[in-house]
Amino acid sequence: MRKAEHALERVIFGSRWLLAPFYLGLIVCLAVLLVKFVQELVHIVPGVLTMRETDVILAVLTMVDLSLAGNLLLMVIFAGYENFVSRIDVADEKDRPEWMGKVDYSGLKLKLVASIVAISAIHLLKSFMDVNEKSDRELAWLVGIHMAFVVSGVLLAWMDKLTASSHH
């Protein structure tokens, strides 16, 4: 019976590798974001001298938005892989991010929510900069959705703080 239990536990433990293709897929998504970033850059640069200031700011905000989404993906890839699949053995790399290997699941959730709030805020700012193109109803929905993200983030952080304080 002990051998069967041990075999089952090995299978369960090994099943974590089923997540590896998800992280490979996220790497492909990161490459897709890079393609969109380059596409936007190629679109912006030639016309920058003739663009209105507002259009330049909107274009830059789009680039920042794509960059934040890329950062978010990278955090999920690194932290998710290290937390759920296997340690990434690059300790001797001088360029290894300091946070790598230190972000647990709770920290990852908070970083994800913070990134989503930042992306939502940029999207909202872009909408306000082009306010003539949006109806009051659309702007109200955007503000409401952004506030839902903010409140969710605050509640998540509060719950994590309560959980951490109850363990001490």
pLDDT digits (tens, 9 = 90+) for 29-67: 999 999 999 999 999 999 999 998 888 888 898 899 899
Residue 56 lies in a domain: yes
Query: Are the beta carbons of 54 and 128 closer than 8 angstroms?
Result: no
Q: In whole angstroms, what is the distance from residue 70 CA to residue 31 CA? A: 9
- Is 53 a member of any domain? yes
Residue 122 domain-assigned (yes or no): yes
Confidence category of residue 72, pLDDT binned at 50, 70, 90: confident
Task: Report the amino acid identity of residue 125.
Answer: L
pLDDT tens digits, one per residue of 141-162: 999 999 999 999 999 889 888 8
Q: Could you give the CA distance from residue 107 to residue 21 in angstroms, rounded to a whole number?
A: 23
Task: Give the per-residue pLDDT at 29.
Answer: 97
User: Would you state the torsion angle of the CA atoms of residues 92, 93, 97, 103, taken in this order, to the nearest 10 degrees?
Assistant: -40
**Residue 10 placed within a domain:** no
Overall number of domains in the chain: 1
Whether 69 maps to a domain, the answer reads yes
- pTM for this prediction: 0.75
Residue 12 lies in a domain: no
**CA-CA distance, 69 to 116, in Å (whole number)?**
8
What own/partner pairs with CB < 8 Å and gap ≥ 24 does 37-45 have? 37/63, 37/66, 37/67, 37/70, 40/66
Statement: residue 92 has pLDDT above 80: no
For the stretch 107-153, pLDDT in tens is: 788 888 888 898 899 888 888 887 788 888 998 999 999 999 999 99
Domain coverage including residue 91: 17-166
What pLDDT score was predicted for residue 168? 61
**3-state secondary structure (DSSP) of residue 98:** coil
Could you tell me if residue 131 is inside a domain? yes
Question: Would 77 be classed as within a structural domain?
Answer: yes
